[in-house]
């Protein structure tokens, strides 16, 4: 029978709830610039850091644009494989409605599962690529584990916008969006599935003020 990973156990939940929230309190988000490009698009540069100013990689930055489709086009697929007894990538960002494949490239079998509210599922002990993908039809975060290898952990973060990306090793990301009043949201793996993404209003101008600096205080302050 599958059993939840350590962070899902009652003991871990009691001990781990505060560190996750504290980790989020230590995250800062800096909108470095919103620079107008062509009349129909602007490039938004976002930098995600912790409280000390150190960059955070693998944060998912998404911009919700009024009128943009919240669900992915039919047939949209993504992939999270298993190599060397690890999930690759360890953080996968997708738009709502995306079907995700979980190919096993190892010579040992894996048993992939999630107990997260947005998409609970399990793919029992298997090798190769399952014929049926897992469709993530609700925004939020799914924490994944392997019932055979407890150290394996990964995250599928689902957003309701086509405008999203993960930060690089420098904590930065660039997104092209139309001018207007939007909503910026940021999620980091330290938040797991217990804390909602940080959301803030974002105004992108078509012209003027090509460099706008916005510092977002850590949540909870």
Q: What is the domain-level CATH number for residue 62?
A: 2.60.40.420
Q: Is residue 221 part of a domain?
A: no
The pLDDT of residue 33: 57
The pLDDT of residue 49: 83
**Average pLDDT for residues 63-69, to the nearest whole number?**
94
* CA distance linking residue 160 with residue 138, whole number of Å: 8
The total number of structural domains in the chain stands at: 1
Q: Whole-model pTM? A: 0.82
Q: Is residue 68 part of a domain?
A: yes
The pLDDT of residue 205: 83
The pLDDT of residue 54: 79
Query: Is the Cα torsion angle 11, 12, 13, 14 positive or negative in sign?
Result: positive
The pLDDT of residue 42: 83
Query: Where is average pLDDT lowest: 35-39, 197-201, 214-218?
Result: 214-218
Q: Is residue 1 part of a domain?
A: no
Do 138 and 114 meet the contact criterion of CB atoms below 8 Å apart?
no
Q: Is residue 36 part of a domain?
A: yes
Is the per-residue pLDDT at 36 higher than 80?
no
**Average pLDDT for residues 31-35, to the nearest whole number?**
58
Structure tokens at 84: 């060397």
**What's the domain range around 76?**
6-216
The pLDDT of residue 79: 97
Q: Is residue 20 part of a domain?
A: yes
The pLDDT confidence band at residue 22, using thresholds 50, 70 and 90, is low
Max intra-chain CA distance, the chain: 60
* CA distance linking residue 94 with residue 185, whole number of Å: 14
Q: Is residue 203 part of a domain?
A: yes
Backbone angles phi, psi at 27, to 5 degrees: -100, 130
* CA distance linking residue 198 with residue 190, whole number of Å: 12
Q: Is residue 117 part of a domain?
A: yes
């Amino acid at each position: 029978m599958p059993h939840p990973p350590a962070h899902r156990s009652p003991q871990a939940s009691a001990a781990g709830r505060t560190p996750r929230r504290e980790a989020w309190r230590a995250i800062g988000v800096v909108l470095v610039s919103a620079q107008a490009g062509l009349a129909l698009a602007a490039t938004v540069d976002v930098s995600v850091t912790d409280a000390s100013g150190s960059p955070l990689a693998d944060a998912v930055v998404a911009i919700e644009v009024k009128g943009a489709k919240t669900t992915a086009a039919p047939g949209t697929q993504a992939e999270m494989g298993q190599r060397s007894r690890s999930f690759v990538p360890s953080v996968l960002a997708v738009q709502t409605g995306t079907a995700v494949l979980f190919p096993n490239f190892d010579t040992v079998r894996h048993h992939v599962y999630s107990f997260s509210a947005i998409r609970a599922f399990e793919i029992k002990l298997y090798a190769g690529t399952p014929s049926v993908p897992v469709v993530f039809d609700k925004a939020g975060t799914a924490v994944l584990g392997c019932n055979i290898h407890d150290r394996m952990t990964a995250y599928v973060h689902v957003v309701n916008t086509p405008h999203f990306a993960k930060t690089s090793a420098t904590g930065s990301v660039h997104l092209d969006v139309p001018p207007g009043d939007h909503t910026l949201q940021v999620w980091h793996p330290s938040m797991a599935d217990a804390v909602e993404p940080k959301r803030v209003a974002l105004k992108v101008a078509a012209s003027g003020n090509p460099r706008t600096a916005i510092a977002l205080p850590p949540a909870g302050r």
